[in-house]
Amino acid sequence: MLVRESRARTVESEHRGHVVEVDQAGAIRRVAGDPQHVVMLRAAAAPFGLVALIEAGGVDAFDLAPSDLAILAGSHSGEDVHVRTLAALFRRAGISQSVLACGTEGMPLDALTASRLARDGERPGPLRHACSGPHTVMVLLSRLRGWPLETYWQDDHPVQGEIRRAVARALGLAPERLQPGIDACGVPTWAAPLAAVARAFALLAEPEAIVEGDPRRTVAPALGIVRDAMLAHPELSGGSRERLDTSLMKALPGRVISKTGLAGLRGVAIRSNGDSSARGMAIKLEAGAGQRVAGWAAAVESLAQAGVVDSQALRMLARYHRPARLDPHGRVASESVATFDLAPVGELTA
C-alpha cells in the first residue's frame, strides 16, 4: 500500500504499487513491493528512444539545440512555447506537421491553454499532443534514413525497430525481451520489469560513469546529451504548471531527471552527490481513481526516504507530497498521504 486518500478521518481510496531504487550497476538498494513487476514503458521510454536519432547524426543533420532535444525526450503540456519549438524544428527540417500521427484527443494537458483554445474556438493540432516530441523523433529519423514518413507509426516500419533496439540497450535487455503493446498515441510501446526501468534511469543520471565492459556503455555518449538537455530545459520536457517532472527538476536543479510514463509509472535519474553515487528509481502505482495525484505523493515520498529531497526542496514540492483537493469554498476536502516505508534491501535480507 503506497498512498491513502482520506476525507476527514475516513480513508476513501487506497493505492497499491511498487517502488525500486537501484545503483548504476543495477543492484537493488531500496524497495517497496515487487521490483520485478512488469510495466508498460509508454512515455518513460522517450529519453532512451531519442538515442537512436542522436546516434544517427540527427543533431547535426537537423541543427538540434538542447531545447529541441529536451522537448523530443519529454511529454510536454501543449503550451505555446512547446508548439513554437516543435513548429520551428519542422520548418528547419522541411517536413510538414501533417505527417504526425499522434492525434489530438484529450490535449493539451495544460488546463489554462486548453481553456484559452476552447474560448477562442481553436481546435488543438497534433503539436499540442504530449507525445508529439517522441513522434517527431521517429519522423526525423525516418527522413534521415530515407524511410517513408507517412507510415512511421506502424509496427513493421523500420524506425520502430531502431527505437526498440535503442530502448533495449539502455535497459540492458535483449530487444526480444521487451513485450510489445500499442500506446494511446498510436505507436508501439514495450513492457519490462520495473527494476530494469530503474536501471536505465540510473544510467541516464551519469552515463559517463558506466564501467568498461558494460554493454550499455554504447549508449552513454548519446544519453549524456539527452540528460544535459533535459536538465537545462525542464519546462520543455514537461510544462510550466502542475507537472511533477518539471517541478522536481527545478526544486533539485542539476540533481534529478524525472520522466512520467503514464498509468502510474515514473522514472527518476538521481545524480551523484558527495558520498552518494548515481542511482535510478522507478515508481509504479496500480490503476484507480486519483492515480495521478497519488503518484505525485508516492514519488516525492520515495525521493525523501532515499535522502534525495532535503527539507527546502520538500517545502517547494509540498503540493505534490501531500496533494489536497479543495471544495468550492477553498477548504481541504481530502488529502493524499504516502504511507509506505522504502526498505533498504539489506534490512530485508538480514
Domains and CATH numbers, the chain: 3-349 (3.40.710)
Residue 347: its pLDDT value, please? 55
**Which residue from 74, 79, 70, 73 is spatially nearest to 110, judged by alpha carbons?**
79
Instruction: Look up cell 533535459; give the residue.
Output: 230
**Which residue from 207, 198, 222, 200 is spatially nearest to 303, judged by alpha carbons?**
198
Residue 289: its pLDDT value, please? 57
Residue 160: its pLDDT value, please? 98
Give the tens place of pLDDT for each residue, 283-308: 999 866 568 899 999 999 999 999 99
Residue 320: its pLDDT value, please? 96
**Which residue from 157, 147, 165 is spatially nearest to 186, judged by alpha carbons?**
157
Distances 108 to 75, 82, 195, 200, 327 between C-alpha atoms, Å: 11, 11, 31, 28, 25
Residue 268: its pLDDT value, please? 98
Give the distance between the most distant pair of CA atoms in the chain. 63
Residue 297: its pLDDT value, please? 96
Taking a C-beta distance cutoff of 8 angstroms, is the pair 154, 142 a contact? no
Say whether pLDDT at 62 is over 90. Answer: yes
> Average pLDDT over the chain, rounded to whole?
95
Give the tens place of pLDDT for each residue, 249-288: 999 999 999 999 988 999 999 999 877 899 999 999 986 6
C-alpha cell at 243: 507537472
Residue 309: its pLDDT value, please? 93
Residues 212-235, mean pLDDT to the nearest whole number: 95
Provide, rounded to the nearest whole percent, the portion of the chain with pLDDT above 70. 97
**Which residue from 265, 262, 279, 299 is spatially nearest to 194, judged by alpha carbons?**
265
Say whether pLDDT at 349 is over 70. Answer: no
| Sheet of 188-193, strand order | 38-40, 188-193, 179-182
Cα separation, 350 vs 167, in Å, equals 35
Report the range of poorest mean pLDDT among 31-40, 75-84, 176-185, 267-276.
Answer: 267-276
pTM of the model: 0.94
Say whether pLDDT at 78 is over 70. Answer: yes
Burial of 286 per CB tally in 10 Å (0-12, 13-18, 19+) = middle
Give the tens place of pLDDT for each residue, 110-120: 999 999 999 99
In the chain, the amino acid numbered 32 is: A
Say whether pLDDT at 70 is over 60. Answer: yes
Say whether pLDDT at 15 is over 50. Answer: yes
Report the range of poorest mean pLDDT among 58-67, 149-158, 209-218.
Answer: 209-218
